[in-house]
Amino acid sequence: MSANGTRLSVEGATKTFASGNLTVFEGLDLAVREGEAVCILGPSGCGKTTLLRCMHGLAELSGGQIVIDGAAVRSPRRNVAMVFQHFGLMPWKRVRENVSYGLELAGVPKATIAERVERYIDLVGLRGFEEAYPYALSGGMQQRVGLARALAVEPEVLLMDEPFGSLDALTREVLQDELLRIYQARPRTMVFITHSIEEAIALGDRVVVLSARPARVREILVVDIPRPRTVASVIADRRFVELRDRCWRLLRKEAA
């Protein structure tokens, strides 16, 4: 972490695809403070997911850099964990084995793995499903496994790639509440990609609104709704309506 409390910074990040014809984002700048939850909101096709993959070194930037803890990101690191929109569970591993996956790869001692797996299975509400295979779980339960797998490695930075994007509205709200509870019990630096305005406001300390392709940072909104929050408490807050309208107007101009 740098002296001013910045854990992750995006500096002039540019990504160009396909022999330079398609620029998905250009000159992005963003600094995420330690323990801060930043939601990145943008129209579809603006490279949100690509940006997140670059933050983890899963894709390369064409220009600029992303710095975590003072070092430029080149490949995935053990103190950063990712939650995927497609869940990314191994169908052949039981819940418990999926949760322990990251810990095993990190070479954590067996006893620690056992203890952590139990703790995070409890934390995300998977008790009783430890021996189930993913196919037997609903989408919401599967993403709880994805979340537990990422949290279990106790990462310094959590990267969330539209983790609830494929869930139905009700399940989605339940999991947003779960994530709020988990985050508020122990805030850790989080970058959360979404195209849902409500989700971005409910979860984020700040909301970064991107423009359409080639994406730039259009505006950064501070969500001054006090924590601890729940989705219900956020929606009931009068500032929510203001923020939502502001986001809506910004995105409307881009959607065209």
Residues that bind other proteins (CB under 8 A): 56, 58, 75-78, 81-82, 84, 86, 88, 90-93, 101-102, 104-106, 133-136, 153
The span from the CA of 188 to the CA of 205, in Å, is 12
What DSSP assignment string belongs to 93-156? S-HHHHHHHHHHHTT--HHHHHHHHHHHHHHTT-TT-TT--GGGS-HHHHHHHHHHHHHHT--S
> Residue 247 Cβ, how far from other proteins at the closest point, in Å?
29
Q: Which two tokens stand for residue 196?
A: 């849902």
For residues 44 and 79, which CB has a smaller minimum distance to other proteins in the complex? 79
What minimum distance in Å lies between the beta carbon of 28 and other proteins?
21
Residue closer to other proteins, measured from CB, 105 or 241: 105
Evaluate whether 102 touches 149 at the Cβ level (below 8 Å). Answer: yes
Beta carbon nearer to other proteins, 101 or 240: 101
Q: Distance (Å, rounded) from C-alpha 188 to C-alpha 203?
A: 12
Q: How far is the CB of 133 from other proteins (least distance, A)?
A: 5
255: Cα separation from own chain's centroid: 23
Least distance CB 64 / other proteins (angstroms): 21
The residue among 166 and 230 lying less far from other proteins, judged by its C-beta, is: 166
Residue 189: CB minimum distance to other proteins, A = 17
Which residue, 10 or 153, has its beta carbon nearer to other proteins?
A: 153
